[in-house]
């Protein structure tokens, strides 16, 4: 198992050779993963959540008022972190990047990682996923992507709620200005420079397994630490293929994102070349073999059939559905699957657990740990749930004594809506 894989991986992977004196390099456990939107980031988050649980590493999670995201789309603030989840070594929930605030939360040796996706595929996913929330999309006749792209400025309002899902979402998530003139070369150069300064690795969704190999090397992790199954996919009925010419128009509309993507896609391939094609090829193969073994051990064969949320009997496994118009599919754990590899059921459950449920699970576990470790500390004050947005603008104090101001009803973000939806869906 593990030993033979490690030996195999050394062949052709120079940077994985053991340290001459002290054996294998210790695993790096301090990581900030900027969870960008519609980029396969839930799958990466699930890898990090499972790693954190296995290695007893604390994950910073949002205060209840932010729901399971760090009050996105507001820029990240240390005040958004739940007091039971500090001091933390991992951060991975959705946020708008704010490096100086993140550095207040994480140790100085934290490594920063994010993921980008090809802009046309990403925008098609955003357009479908947020078709009812993002008003720029909602007001398009017949929900037609082509119509939107014919005259984006007719439908897009930069200052409006959820507008960040309709224009240069990657740039926005990274903390940049989504509406900046995309032909301003100095601005784009500055954006790229900032991302290169802050992030040790920028993964690319189209080359997910290769990106994971780089991640594993960066963090000195084992193969077991990067096994995954794909999460948060749309069902085939909700996807559409893009007619010829459409990808170019999407890129033109999201030109800041397109330039970021091109730059970091090229860097990814340079880094893979440095590691060596033989090493990368071997590791990707070993990763896929190990994943197949785990899937067989969990589900008795292939992955269980993808299911619509309503068809998933275990509520802990139902992915959040953004609206009636789009199907996000998930998996059910077969109740009496024969698990030939004797993989414990809980391992399998966590492998396919959606973001909202896993975030809650970790918060529960970490809160218990916190109370055990600090029984004398007063609990943080109770606060109204963000879901009740109809309340007048309100505020409460969090553990640092800062005041968090609730957003007014008209500006509720996806987190608030999600709280409402997931409660309905999960109750
Ligand atoms: N491993 C892997 N490789 C490539 N693509 C993957 C992978 N895992 C998930 N996906 C696709 O990523 C999309 C979901 O992205 P996110 O999880 O980041 O979405 S979210 O913003 O958190 O809702 C969603 O894309 P669409 O199906 O096109 O919507 C998933 O299918």
Note whether 123 and 251 are within 8 A (CB).
Answer: no
What is the best residue among 49, 125, 330, 356 to mutate for testing ligand 1's pocket, by most ligand atoms within 8 Å of CB?
125
Distance 279 CA to ligand 1 centre (A): 26
pTM: 0.87
DSSP state of 203: E
- Residue 338: exposure state from Cβ atoms within 10 A (0-12, 13-18, ≥19): exposed
Residue 60 in tokens: 């910073």
Distance 384 CA to ligand 1 centre (A): 32
Note whether 218 and 201 are within 8 A (CB).
Answer: yes
Q: Strands of 233-234's sheet, edge to edge?
A: 233-234, 328-330, 307-308
Regions of the chain short of the pLDDT cut 70: 1-12, 14-23, 335-341, 377-427
Task: Return the number of other C-beta atoms located less than 10 Å from residue 346's C-beta.
Answer: 10
According to the model, what pLDDT value does residue 387 have?
Answer: 39
According to the model, what pLDDT value does residue 11 have?
Answer: 52
Q: What are phi and psi of 151, to 5 degrees?
A: -155, 70
Please work out whether the CB of residue 298 comes within 6 Å of at least one atom of ligand 1.
Answer: no
Please work out whether the CB of residue 117 comes within 6 Å of at least one atom of ligand 1.
Answer: no
Please work out whether the CB of residue 207 comes within 6 Å of at least one atom of ligand 1.
Answer: no
Q: Where are the alpha helices (DSSP H) in 300-382?
A: 345-351, 355-373
Please work out whether the CB of residue 46 comes within 6 Å of at least one atom of ligand 1.
Answer: no
Distance 44 CA to ligand 1 centre (A): 10
Portion of the chain with pLDDT greater than 90, in percent: 70
Task: Name 90's bridge partners.
Answer: 31, 59
Q: Which residue has the tokens 């269980």?
A: 304
Please work out whether the CB of residue 133 comes within 6 Å of at least one atom of ligand 1.
Answer: no
Please work out whether the CB of residue 125 comes within 6 Å of at least one atom of ligand 1.
Answer: yes
Question: Does the interface predicted TM-score (ipTM) exceed 0.90?
Answer: yes
Please work out whether the CB of residue 404 comes within 6 Å of at least one atom of ligand 1.
Answer: no
Distance (Å, whole) CA 203 – CA 43: 12
According to the model, what pLDDT value does residue 342 have?
Answer: 72
Distance 109 CA to ligand 1 centre (A): 29
Nearest atom in ligand 1 to the alpha carbon of residue 35 is 18
Whose CA is closest to 129, among 334, 325, 300, 311?
A: 325
According to the model, what pLDDT value does residue 308 have?
Answer: 87
According to the model, what pLDDT value does residue 301 have?
Answer: 78
Distance (Å, whole) CA 22 – CA 343: 31
Take atom 1 of ligand 1 and give the residue whose Cα is closest.
230
According to the model, what pLDDT value does residue 339 have?
Answer: 58
Please work out whether the CB of residue 169 comes within 6 Å of at least one atom of ligand 1.
Answer: no
Q: Is 196 left (phi over 0), alpha (psi -120 to 50) or beta?
A: alpha
What is the best residue among 205, 208, 268 to mutate for testing ligand 1's pocket, by most ligand atoms within 8 Å of CB?
205
Nearest atom in ligand 1 to the alpha carbon of residue 122 is 28
Please work out whether the CB of residue 39 comes within 6 Å of at least one atom of ligand 1.
Answer: yes
């Amino acid at each position: 198992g593990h030993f033979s894989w490690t030996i195999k991986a050394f062949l052709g992977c120079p940077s994985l050779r053991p340290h001459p004196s002290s054996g294998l390099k210790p695993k790096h456990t301090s990581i900030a993963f900027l969870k960008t939107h519609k980029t396969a980031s839930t799958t990466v988050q699930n890898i990090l959540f499972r790693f954190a649980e296995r290695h007893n590493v604390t994950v910073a999670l949002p205060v209840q008022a932010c729901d399971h995201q760090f009050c996105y789309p507001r820029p990240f603030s240390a005040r958004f972190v739940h007091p039971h989840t500090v001091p933390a070594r991992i951060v991975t929930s959705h946020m708008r990047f704010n490096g100086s605030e993140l550095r207040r939360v994480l140790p100085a040796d934290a490594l920063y990682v994010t993921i980008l996706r090809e802009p046309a595929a990403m925008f098609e996913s955003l357009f479908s996923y947020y078709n009812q929330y993002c008003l720029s999309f909602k007001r398009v006749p017949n929900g037609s992507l082509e119509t939107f792209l014919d005259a984006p400025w007719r439908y897009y309002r930069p200052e409006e709620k959820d507008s960040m899902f309709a224009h240069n979402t990657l740039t926005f998530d990274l903390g940049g200005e989504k509406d900046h003139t995309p032909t301003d070369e100095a601005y784009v150069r500055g954006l790229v420079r900032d991302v290169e300064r802050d992030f040790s690795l920028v993964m690319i969704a189209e080359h997910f397994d290769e990106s994971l190999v780089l991640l594993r090397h960066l963090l000195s992790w084992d193969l077991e630490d990067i096994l995954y199954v794909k999460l948060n996919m749309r069902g085939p009925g909700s996807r559409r293929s893009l007619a010829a010419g459409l990808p170019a128009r999407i890129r033109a509309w999201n030109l800041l994102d397109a330039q970021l993507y091109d730059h970091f896609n090229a860097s990814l391939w340079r880094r893979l070349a440095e590691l060596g094609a033989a090493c990368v090829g071997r590791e990707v193969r070993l990763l896929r073999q190990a994943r197949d073994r785990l899937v067989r051990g969990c589900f008795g064969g292939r992955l269980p059939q993808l299911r619509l949320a309503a068809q998933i009997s275990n509520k802990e496994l139902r992915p959040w559905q953004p609206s009636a118009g789009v199907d996000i599919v998930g998996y059910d754990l077969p109740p009496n699957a024969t698990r030939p590899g004797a993989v414990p059921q809980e391992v399998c459950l966590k492998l396919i657990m959606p973001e909202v449920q896993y975030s809650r699970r970790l918060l529960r576990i970490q809160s218990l740990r916190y109370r055990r470790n600090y029984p004398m500390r007063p609990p943080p004050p109770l606060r109204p749930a963000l879901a009740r947005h109809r309340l007048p603008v309100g505020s409460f104090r969090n553990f640092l004594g800062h005041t968090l101001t609730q957003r007014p009803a008209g500006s509720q973000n996806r987190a608030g809506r999600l709280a409402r939806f997931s409660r309905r869906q999960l109750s």
